[in-house]
Structure formats: structure tokens, C-alpha cells
A = this chain, B = another copy of it.
């Protein structure tokens, strides 16, 4: 079947969470007495994300949005990063940095080109309000904001991928999951979706870890969203 729908992972794939958090931290440091290694802070915050979601996925925690999970992790790491002196308003502002992540340079233009042929939706563990606010601020134009929140399950649980194709009324192999992370793509492939691996070598910083391609391969591999558009639209590469 021909692809009709693109489902895009967001954190790391479309937006640069690490760089955005570092910039927010530096902005906070300029206005308050707090100071820390914001790169390490971003890494620690993000590192708490998978385990926290797994506590929801295994029913150790009730359903919580990513906003709530981010806040829980932030409280846990606040002391070691010298953030104990922040006011509640500053903590709330910092927690909502995930609503204000900046896209990689190719994301907006590439997604816009892809929208000329396909229905292009987010499919993120971020909650709907987070994804909506982020897209509005960044200028990302989704045809539809889809979130794990709509299904009460987190990726890589198969319910999330199945729920997305049900809502967009397409067969599994009419959908292409686009992500920088092999686990996301492997899970999508097991549900029958096509997959596109878009590596983001700077996701974890200049010297950070690089994600490996999915072990089972992927339908497409692209350097960025423009390269993906070149491949899917069958155009010559842009001059």
C-alpha cells in the first residue's frame, strides 16, 4: 500500500530538547542566583523520563501526563543542581520548557513539504497541551496533533501506534513512523507500520551518545526532514 500518513516522533526527532533546555537554563541563571551545568541538568532530566514512563506503563503509577512526570523528575533533581531556591513560578516556568522546545533547522520546512502529499501528524508521548503549545510557538504545522495521552498508554506500547492509525483511518502499512530512536521504530514496525529513521547525532550533545539504526532495519533512512521529503516526494535533491 502507498503511504498516506506520516506519524512523527517529536522530542529529539523534530525538536532539540537538550539545546532548548540549556538555553532556558542560561536565561534563568541570568535572572536568578541559580547556576549549574545546564547540559548535565538537561541530560539528567531526560534520563528520568523513560523510567518514569515505565512506572506508568507497568501500573506502578496511575496515568500521569508528561507534564506531571517532568515535574516529578524535576523535583527529584532540583537539589543536586542547586535549584532549591527557585520560586514556584520559576519551577513552573522551567517545567514548561518542554512546551517551548525549538525545532531542528530542517523540521518546519521539511514537514511543510511533506504536508503537500501526506497527512502529517505528531505521535509523541508529550501530552496534547504540550504538543499544541510547542507547535504554535515554534511554527510547526501539524495536520493533526496526536499524543499518547489520547490512548492512555505510552510508546512503545502498541496501543499508541494502533490508536493513531485508527483515528486517521488508515491501514498499518499506509502509515510511516518517523523517529530518531530505534525503539520507537521497532515497536511501530511490529504493528505493521512503515518506518523512517532520521538520526539526530546532536540530540544528546556534541559528545553525547548516538542512536543506532533499528536492528530490524527501516523502510527509509534520511539525514533530516528535507532529505525525507526528497525521498518520499521523488524530487531531485534541492539545489
Contact = CB atoms under 8 A, between A and B. Distances in A.
Given A128-B168, A167-B128, A169-B67, A119 B133 contact: yes
A167 B144 contact: no
Given A119-B136, A143-B135, A143-B136, A149 B167 contact: yes
B67 A129 contact: no
A-B complex: 4 closest residue pairs judged by Cβ atoms: A129-B169, A128-B167, A132-B144, A144-B145
Interface residues of A, number: 22
A150 interface: yes
Number of copies: 2
A167 B129 contact: yes
A141 interface: yes
A30 to B, nearest CB: 28
18 contacts: A67-B169, A119-B132, A119-B133, A119-B136, A121-B132, A127-B167, A127-B169, A128-B144, A128-B167, A128-B168, A131-B144, A132-B143, A132-B144, A132-B168, A136-B143, A141-B141, A149-B167, A150-B150
Given A129-B168, A129-B170, A131-B144, 13 more contacts: A67-B169, A115-B136, A119-B132, A119-B136, A127-B169, A128-B144, A128-B168, A129-B169, A132-B143, A143-B145, A144-B145, A145-B145, A150-B167
